[in-house]
Amino acid sequence: MGDQAVTVIYGGDDTLLEDIRGLVPGETFRGATTVDTLRTALSEAEVLCSWSFRAREVATAWDAARTLRWIHWCGAGVDAVLFPELVRSPVVLTNARGVFDRAMSEYVLGLILAFAKGLPETLAAQAARRWHYRLTERIEGNRVLVVGVGSIGRTIAQLLHGVGMTVTGVGRTARGGDPVFGRVHAASDLLQLLPEVDYVVAVVPLTADTTRMFTEREFRAMKPTARFINVGRGASVDEAALARVLEEGAIAGAALDVFEREPLPATSALWAAPRLIVSPHMSGDFLECRQALIQVFVDNLRRYRAGEPLRNVVDKALGYVRS
């Protein structure tokens, strides 16, 4: 392959290409930051690494990708790149599975503690210079339903087990003997499971099956004392329905890190919804995240050039890496 095999890096800042190039001497790289430069670069590319994991420009420039064999996506969710032409093609798709697992798990634990210990109320009282004493909850023994049992969901479950919570998993299909969850329940059982738990943590990839997975019906099936957390994909939630049930007090609270439209518009009813924590799609990002993402791609690029199996190969029909 040698110098004829071109690798395109799409997105990122001015130093990204140089950082990657420095780790893979002898590789021929091209940078692209717009649809036009991406189309030009793809005309000679064998490998594409997209740093802009929410971007949909690859579909726009797909007609130029005549020699492409592998796409690496620097994110966990790959819904933005699963356009029909790619799915039907022989081009291999990999992602950054594993990079965000621990950070997202800690974030979820932090949200659970924030709810249980009333941290939003404490901060509001502090801002108002008001002494607001009250009792708070313990999380030990609380039941958590993790919807999505990939690597992120499994790491969340392990961390929550460690602080004394009881965790149940929901996947695409039911199965027993799981080393983390014991038994994984099928998504079709979701409505029967929701009334039994104190926290629902959604970490599903966006697929046809998970779009609008959580509607008013699901929220009203939860206990009035339960909380809902979404760190997966925004389109899995009917946001208007969630705002309504929060206004009515049908559930005790919610936290959203992902939204159907990002950034969340200032006109969204979610900003004013009571007992809702809004964060800007940051649950998986951490200070060393850039280096970790680069390393995953570089390791896979070395495997690709050596003819070895790639890690984190996405099943394009399912929309995620099989566990």
- Model confidence over 207-261: pLDDT tens digits? 999 999 999 999 999 999 999 999 999 999 999 999 999 999 999 999 999 999 9
Same domain for 85 and 6?
A: yes
Question: What's the rounded Cα separation, in Å, for the pair 5 and 3?
Answer: 5
Same domain for 78 and 210?
A: no
Same domain for 238 and 92?
A: no
* Position 4 confidence tier, pLDDT thresholds 50, 70, 90: low
317 in a structural domain: no
Q: Which domain holds residue 75?
A: 2-99+287-305
Please state the separation of Cα 254 from the chain's center in Å. Answer: 17
311 in a structural domain: no
Same domain for 82 and 192?
A: no
Same domain for 193 and 87?
A: no
- Structural contact between residues 88 and 46, judged by C-beta atoms closer than 8 angstroms: no
Same domain for 222 and 187?
A: yes
| Domain CATH code at residue 128 | 3.40.50.720
Burial class of residue 303 in the structure, from the number of CB atoms within 10 Å of its CB (0-12 exposed, 13-18 middle, 19+ buried): middle
313 in a structural domain: no
Q: In what order do the strands lie in the sheet with 199-202?
A: 175-178, 182-186, 166-171, 143-147, 199-202, 227-230, 253-256, 276-278
8 in a structural domain: yes
Question: What's the rounded Cα separation, in Å, for the pair 198 and 257?
Answer: 19
316 in a structural domain: no
271 in a structural domain: yes
Q: ∠ at Cα 71 (69, 72), nearest 5°?
A: 140
Same domain for 176 and 248?
A: yes
**Is the pLDDT score of 3 beyond 90?**
no
Same domain for 146 and 221?
A: yes
310 in a structural domain: no
Q: How many domains does the chain have?
A: 2
* Position 1 confidence tier, pLDDT thresholds 50, 70, 90: very low
Query: What percent of the chain has a predicted confidence (pLDDT) above 90?
Result: 97
Question: What's the rounded Cα separation, in Å, for the pair 183 and 174?
Answer: 7
Same domain for 7 and 65?
A: yes
123 in a structural domain: yes
Which stretches of 104-181 are assigned E, i.e. beta strand?
143-147, 166-171, 175-178
- Structural contact between residues 318 and 207, judged by C-beta atoms closer than 8 angstroms: yes
Same domain for 225 and 296?
A: no
Region 192-200 average pLDDT: 98
Q: pLDDT tens for residues 172-192? A: 999 999 999 999 999 999 999
Single-letter residue type at 255: A
Q: Exposure string (b/e) for 252-283, b if CB count within 10 Å is 16 or more?
A: bbbbbbbbbeeebeeebebeebebbbeeebeb
Same domain for 37 and 105?
A: no
Same domain for 21 and 48?
A: yes
Single-letter residue type at 243: A
Lowest-confidence segment of 49-63, 211-225, 250-264, 278-292 by average pLDDT: 49-63
